[in-house]
Structure 1
Amino acid sequence: MTGSPAGGSAVTGDGRYGESLFAPEHPREAARIDDAALVYDPVTTRRLRELGVGPGSRCLEVGAGTGTVARWLLEEARVDEVVALDRDTGALASLTSPRLRVVTADLTDESLRPGRFDLIHARFVLMHLRERRRLVSRLVTWLNPGGRLVLGDTVDLPDALDSSSAYRQVMDAMWRTLKETIGTDTTSVPAYPHFFREEGLRNVAAELYCPPLVADGPLARFWAETWRRMRPALEQTGRVDAAVLDEALAYLASPRLAELGPGMMLTWGQRP
């Protein structure tokens, strides 16, 4: 998944990903998403492979983005069908297969009925949606018996001894601004295994992957581009000024970079 955000007390919190922030038509959006995919796709696909995703599976890829996971499901896992769902599917135009069905729709649309699946995967989607707990319940109803739900979302593990560096100031300001503008909230991500149990799923487990944050590497580029795109919103809130943001951006490209960046928590479970 992919209006101008207001600042200060004018922030209403009713914006949406892809509208208030991170518009899919932005010339750098596909590259920003692909930078994250370079880091997280190997982790995601390893887990899906270990869960036995392969021929005979019908899969729903929620928030398909630029289609990197959907392509892996089709070309490497050789699943029977992939339904790629996103509010904006323009970046999927180059992905063609008779086993692919592209659905342009909003996951929160109550009329959406995509069918039943052996795998439902969503990465960095539910954290941006205010209805995330209800949507977990909804996704479970779309699973076939024995089908698996796999969710990946962000967990940030800040250094408790570092609250004043430019990097930490901007990262913290980013999370607060995202929550106020589009509803992003990562605080419930560690509870996903409990949500899965509450939905009656079995074989529930989770893992956390914190990739290295390397100067000018794909993840550093992802955060740098994210901060640049959010710059007006970050500065308008008054939480960080231009000098702090510039210092944090320079740090991401510096050999001095030494941070444990935000990671991805993968949670999976199986419908009885």
Structure 2
Amino acid sequence: MPGENPAGRGRYGESLFEPAHPREAERIDDAAVVYDPVTTHRLRALGAGPGLRCLEVGAGTGTVARWLLREAGVDEVVALDRDTGALEGAEDPGLRVVTADLTDEGLDLGTFDLIHARFVLMHLPERRRVLARLAGLLNPGGRILLGDAVELPDRLDTASAYRRTMDAMWEALRETIGTDIAHIAAYPRFLREEGLVEVAAELYCPPLTPGGPLARFWSQTWRRMRPELEATGRVDAATVDVALAQLDSPHLAALAPGMLLAWGRRA
């Protein structure tokens, strides 16, 4: 199907970014600090509130799932992830934690009034098929919100350590676990192809400030991926060191990858 990429035989959480790593929850939460306000604003605009049954795909440390329950007041959240260790012991009424693989064809979750998946489909080689499956879980009138990374690189900057390391990262992710952001801009079209209506999208590019939560996220990501980065041949150890230093430098001047949000409603 369109949007599939056969590269990468590994899996997120196994080949890279193991949940048991002592700083993995911290890395995820650094990204959540940046992206949660944008995500929850859009979820609220899409009608997140009492009376809804919601699916949170790739629940991570549970920041969005808890917001849906505590702030939006939805009735139930099914928090789905392949590793739910960060959600163990959660006592929020209405929270159902499901440890499962989204790509498992035998997985039966029921249907939902609201589905959210952020930074999940981009890491799945079968992303187009999974998108269709998620759209098929919507109740009549139900809405889906998808968020994934997009790049707006400075085409005049091809030699800086930051740019070379970021490019090496995307190549390493594609080759290792099949990550592909080339088709993210097609999400609105894919949602229309699944018969959804009121389809729209927006792009958020967060500021990349020295030592800020997003800089910390990329720093941790690159440190964890150093062998894979250098294996691409795009960067060596010295280049990665310079790029990491740039993330803490007052001279940092770069546009971080953005997040495309796409949504639609089941008629």
TM class by shorter chain equals over 0.9
Over the aligned positions, Cα root-mean-square deviation in angstroms equals: 0.8
Please give the TM-score of this superposition, normalised by the length of structure 1: 0.95
Letter aligned with residue 139 of structure 2:
N
Please give the per-residue CA displacement for 1:159-196, whole angstroms capped at 9, x wherever unaligned.
Answer: 01000100000000000010000000001000000000
Letter aligned with residue 195 of structure 1:
F
Give the equivalent residue in structure 2 for 1:69: 64
Letter aligned with residue 25 of structure 1:
A
In structure 1, how many angstroms separate the alpha carbons of the residues matched to 2:91 and 2:178?
A: 33
Q: Are the equivalent residues in 2 in contact too, given 1:87–1:104 (CA < 8 A)?
A: yes
| Equivalent position to 1:182, from 146, 152, 177 | 177
Give the equivalent residue in structure 2 for 1:143: 138
Q: Are the equivalent residues in 2 in contact too, given 1:67–1:95 (CA < 8 A)?
A: no
Letter aligned with residue 125 of structure 2:
R
1:154 and 2:149 correspond: yes
1:36 and 2:6 correspond: no
Give the equivalent residue in structure 1 for 2:168: 173
Give the equivalent residue in structure 1 for 2:42: 47
Q: Are the equivalent residues in 1 in contact too, given 2:203–2:259 (CA < 8 A)?
A: yes
Number of residues paired by the alignment? Answer: 261
CA positional deviation for 1:238: 2.2
CA positional deviation for 1:94: 4.3
In structure 2, how many angstroms separate the alpha carbons of the residues matched to 1:211 and 1:88?
A: 27
Other structure's SS at 1:121 match: strand
Letter aligned with residue 112 of structure 2:
F
In structure 1, how many angstroms separate the alpha carbons of the residues matched to 2:163 and 2:217?
A: 16
Other structure's SS at 1:244 match: helix
CA positional deviation for 1:237: 2.8
In structure 2, how many angstroms separate the alpha carbons of the residues matched to 1:169 and 1:178?
A: 14
Other structure's SS at 2:98 match: strand
Give the equivalent residue in structure 1 for 2:209: 214
Q: Are the equivalent residues in 2 in contact too, given 1:71–1:95 (CA < 8 A)?
A: no
Where does the alignment leave 5 or more consecutive residues of structure 1 unmatched? 1-11
| Equivalent position to 1:252, from 247, 252, 267 | 247
In structure 1, how many angstroms separate the alpha carbons of the residues matched to 2:188 and 2:136?
A: 17
Letter aligned with residue 241 of structure 1:
D
CA positional deviation for 1:74: 0.6
| Equivalent position to 1:56, from 34, 51, 57 | 51
Other structure's SS at 1:234 match: helix
Give the equivalent residue in structure 2 for 1:6: none
Other structure's SS at 1:146 match: strand
1:91 and 2:76 correspond: no
In structure 1, how many angstroms separate the alpha carbons of the residues matched to 2:113 and 2:227?
A: 42
Give the equivalent residue in structure 2 for 1:266: 261
Give the equivalent residue in structure 2 for 1:107: 102
Instruction: Give % identity.
Output: 74
Letter aligned with residue 132 of structure 1:
R
Give the equivalent residue in structure 2 for 1:23: 18
In structure 1, how many angstroms separate the alpha carbons of the residues matched to 2:110 and 2:244?
A: 44
Give the equivalent residue in structure 2 for 1:236: 231
Give the equivalent residue in structure 2 for 1:225: 220
In structure 1, how many angstroms separate the alpha carbons of the residues matched to 2:145 and 2:136?
A: 14
In structure 1, how many angstroms separate the alpha carbons of the residues matched to 2:229 and 2:195?
A: 41
Single out whichever of 89-98 and 31-40 deviates more from structure 2: 89-98
1:14 and 2:12 correspond: no
CA positional deviation for 1:13: 2.2
Letter aligned with residue 188 of structure 2:
P
Give the equivalent residue in structure 1 for 2:3: none
